[in-house]
Structure 1
Amino acid sequence: MMQQKKFTGKVYLKKGQTIHVKIKRLGINGEGIGYYKKKIIFIPGALPKEFVKAKITESNRNYAKAKLLEIVEKSSQRVNPADHYDVGGIELEHLNYDAQLDFKRDVILQALEKFKPRGYEKIELRKTIGMDDPYHYRNKAAFQVRMTKTGKLIAGLYKPESHHLVDLPTFETQRKLTLEIIRKTLALMEKWHVCAYDERTNKGTVKTLVVREAFATKEAQLVFVTNERFIAHASEIAAELRNEFPQLVSVMQNYNPGKTSLVYGDETTRIFGRDYIIEKLGDVSFKLSARAFFQMNPIQTKKMYDEVKQALNLKQGEILVDAYCGVGTIGLYCGKEAGLVLGMDVISEAIADAKENAAMSGIKNVVYEEGDAKEIFAKWEKAGQKFDALVVDPPRTGLDDETIEVILRNKPKKFVYVSCNPSTLARNLVSLVSKYDVSYIQPIDMFPQTARTEAVVKLDLRPE
């Protein structure tokens, strides 16, 4: 007698298979999440409460990914997006803005529920601070440059999970001037026969065009990121660009040869004008060199720094440490009342800019050092340097364990954590709440139309 196979309850989906799914919620990357016979399905472009038709693009043991084919039942929160490109950076453009703000608060809540730092259920998680106009806010464009099979130069972003470049003559979250400079630069490259980089052969000159615009001064900077040291007719191109765009005060070249995932190399030289542009937040000026980090949304940046300043509530004479200081933005904006601001960053150009930014604004109560946060902390600790307040604005990887140990040993009374990644924030809080209580978390929408969210977290040292 033949023995029948026991049903295991597992669902096997084939690539290319068409399914119908009810969407339950949004994932942390803004994709729709549904379940097909209890298997989780990720469908970019789908929204909660929608019933959709989708085609399986990737099938794994515990989950599958699918492409949205048809919306059978549409969400009331769906809107017509301003852009219709299949690229990153606009993954929530089809969701109305109020719902985007709710989602960004919910992503932080999901992270807290996943990592469960002590007392997380009682943390005050405030409503997300949004924008009046959630478009035209990106002050910087970094577009890859390639040549099509027909010989046309294009510049834009890659399709998700691919190396297919999408030409972006328009992009509604981007500042108009940055796009205009990129399009004119492409035309001049064609005119002067400047070659684009070819990934297949690892030959060609221009890899990336980076344009940054200062909101306050209207100054702009163009950076050619190149595979070769020499750019043919670079001075002629710069001169023509300057004639059309008087705002363009800086044209630079960054040498970054070979295949690499990094946008910039280590060597930057000037083609025309200054090495920097100047931006302002409030009454503080910031000199921005080509590789210097500065938030891409100055309007929301001021709101965020106002939140940091309020949370720190610095008093006369207090010592503030500005970790991951970049060009000095947070410390200079928030630390005027402090007796001393100590800043640190790993990028030498950023530290140089921070020092000049302080000088430009007449701020003298600052000291900056180049180096890794944990190493500088250890150096200061060994020298007996105490501090009253701390603000950290780490990269998406969050604080490393050694830096957290230094913080917990020094126990600054005032502590503000600026986060750009809810997951690493929640994971760091698991350790930090051993000595701190989380007073509140204030989400801020720095990147409308995307799934990214930032937050200002006020931590209070518990009495021993």
Structure 2
Amino acid sequence: MTKEKREIPVKKNDKVWLKIEDLTHDGRGVGKLDYYPVFVENAIPGEEIEVRIMKTTKKFAYGKVLQWKTKSENRVEDVVSDWIRTGIAPLHHMTYEAQLDFKKNQVEKVIKRIGGFEDVEVKAVKGMENPSKYRNKAQIPVRKVEDRLQTGFFRRNSHDLVPIDDFYIQEPEIDAALIAIKPILEQYNVKPYDEEKQGGNLKNIVIRKGHYTNELMIVLVTKKKKIFKIGEICKEIVSAVPNVTSIIQSIHTENNNVILGKEFVRLYGEEYIEDQLLGNTYQISAKSFYQVNTKQAEVLYQEAIDRAELKKTDVVIDAYCGIGTIGLSLAKQVQHVYGVEMVQDAIDDAQTNAEINGIENVEFKVGKAEFVFEKWLEDGIKPNVIIVDPPRKGLAETFIEASSKMNPEKIVYVSCDPATFARDLKLYAERGYAPDYVQPIDMFPQTSHIECVTVLKKK
């Protein structure tokens, strides 16, 4: 007997009343119509709301809040809809305490559901005292809107630019720099990029700020190499924006969603800015990976270092070492640090940063970690501790196998995605490495992202 097909209970533009029961992983409220989920931005569990249905699929719908019958005690009233609909700050309609509870709950769910760990404790999230204006890097698209050059952010799941001047989560000097730069670009008739026609030139403006040094880098991402009167433009920018120490052009000829191009041209000042992290100084280039929340990065790295319980005789491997921030932060506490990274530029930066800080007990190697680990084993290198800090996709199973074969006492796992984190912990458990408690750390307040740290020890 065939299963009866359930009809979709709503259609586009219908108005319905919903009781919000839960939140999705990205912070949308969830209500149900006859078991049919409706996802709604700016909605919190416990609220009763009237919703306009914006889109339907076979399994769920998206809705938009029209009015509230009841509101949650966790609601913040001063909501800026542009911050939600662009995804800049999709949780800022919730109190910060509620955001931290939501994130802790998300981590607990995946640790149990994906990882299969019933008894691993998830600690309360370490949040920020001031959970706004924290980002030290902005990547801002530039487009023509109503015949004018505009900066802003794309509406979620689209390439429709929403003009924005106050980004709320960026350090104030970055927002101020954008406001100052925009009229200069208009004055010199710099053409914004047109996605549909593949015309214009300026695609994005990237701004980096040294949190402690206040140095600013401005990167103009262009489709073509030539920018008419670029010398005069740079002089105007330096005059209008305090603390600019570097202006870079990144030439990006391809039509894709990658922000930076492969060719970089120094237009003014240095090719890098400097900043401090846990007492060390780092050179940060246009293409360097550097944590966007400096204060919380210090909390995150200190948590990883403390949990490793390092000894002066320890040998440590810093996998996914990037420009060396974790390895160099702990180098003075151990005998030796080995860093490995796929990107040659990052390894070059790491070596430079070691020299700047006078750290000599470190060695950085470019290559795929699994192959480098084999060579290190052949050379008799036996780490006590391996620290991993992978991108969102987590670790390849080949990496997990190779790192387990190194037989370290401890593996410290720093993660920016709870789902891949839980998956990888399960794979490590199959190889005899059990996690202790998980400590979430809020690197991205007002958004649904969360970082986690745990220590895996040999059973």
Residue type matched to 1:56 in 2?
Answer: I
Residue type matched to 2:423 in 1?
Answer: R
Counterpart of 1:275 in structure 2 is 271
Counterpart of 2:351 in structure 1 is 355
Q: State the 1:311 CA deviation.
A: 0.7
Partner Cα separation in structure 2 for residue 99 and residue 108 of structure 1: 14
Counterpart of 1:191 in structure 2 is 187
Q: State the 1:349 CA deviation.
A: 2.1
Tell me whether 48-57 or 448-457 shows the greater mean CA deviation. 48-57
Q: State the 1:373 CA deviation.
A: 2.8
Counterpart of 2:15 in structure 1 is 18
Calculate percent identity across the aligned residue pairs. Answer: 34
Residue type matched to 1:310 in 2?
Answer: D
Q: What SS class does the counterpart of residue 394 from structure 1 fall into?
A: coil
Counterpart of 2:229 in structure 1 is 233
- Confirm or deny: 8 A CA contact 1:440 1:459 kept in the other structure: no
- Confirm or deny: 8 A CA contact 2:220 2:250 kept in the other structure: yes
Tell me whether 77-86 or 188-197 shows the greater mean CA deviation. 77-86
- Confirm or deny: 8 A CA contact 2:370 2:403 kept in the other structure: no
Residue type matched to 1:360 in 2?
Answer: I
Counterpart of 2:371 in structure 1 is 375
TM-score (normalizing by structure 1)? 0.95
- Confirm or deny: 8 A CA contact 1:82 1:172 kept in the other structure: no
Question: Do structure 1's residue 143 and structure 2's residue 144 form an aligned pair?
Answer: no
Counterpart of 1:93 in structure 2 is 92
Q: Gaps spanning 5+ residues in structure 1: where?
A: none
Partner Cα separation in structure 1 for residue 381 and residue 39 of structure 2: 50
Q: Where do 1:191-340 residues align within 5 Å? A: 191-340=187-336
Q: What SS class does the counterpart of residue 118 from structure 2 fall into?
A: helix
Partner Cα separation in structure 2 for residue 364 and residue 47 of structure 1: 52
Counterpart of 1:431 in structure 2 is 427
Counterpart of 1:63 in structure 2 is 60
Q: How many residues align?
A: 455
Partner Cα separation in structure 1 for residue 178 and residue 290 of structure 2: 20
Partner Cα separation in structure 2 for residue 82 and residue 48 of structure 1: 17
**How far does the alpha carbon of each residue in 1:275-303 deviate from its partner, in whole angstroms, 9 at most, with x for none?**
00001013211110001011111111111
Q: State the 1:48 CA deviation.
A: 0.5
CA RMSD of aligned residues (A): 1.7
Q: State the 1:382 CA deviation.
A: 4.5
- Confirm or deny: 8 A CA contact 2:42 2:93 kept in the other structure: yes
Q: State the 1:213 CA deviation.
A: 0.6
Q: State the 1:82 CA deviation.
A: 5.7
Match among 43, 48, 55 for residue 45 of structure 2 = 48
Q: What SS class does the counterpart of residue 333 from structure 2 fall into?
A: coil
Partner Cα separation in structure 2 for residue 381 and residue 87 of structure 1: 48
Match among 27, 30, 34 for residue 27 of structure 2 = 30
Partner Cα separation in structure 1 for residue 318 and residue 298 of structure 2: 17
**How far does the alpha carbon of each residue in 1:157-198 deviate from its partner, in whole angstroms, 9 at most, with x for none?**
100111110111112111111112122221111111111111
Question: Do structure 1's residue 177 and structure 2's residue 164 form an aligned pair?
Answer: no
Question: Do structure 1's residue 411 and structure 2's residue 410 form an aligned pair?
Answer: no
Tell me whether 49-58 or 297-306 shows the greater mean CA deviation. 49-58
Match among 432, 442, 445 for residue 442 of structure 2 = 445
Counterpart of 2:109 in structure 1 is 110
Partner Cα separation in structure 2 for residue 146 and residue 373 of structure 1: 40
Partner Cα separation in structure 2 for residue 269 and residue 165 of structure 1: 27
**How far does the alpha carbon of each residue in 1:118-138 deviate from its partner, in whole angstroms, 9 at most, with x for none?**
xx1111210000111111101
Partner Cα separation in structure 2 for residue 137 and residue 82 of structure 1: 19
Match among 154, 162, 168 for residue 166 of structure 1 = 162
- Confirm or deny: 8 A CA contact 1:416 1:459 kept in the other structure: yes
Partner Cα separation in structure 1 for residue 345 and residue 202 of structure 2: 23
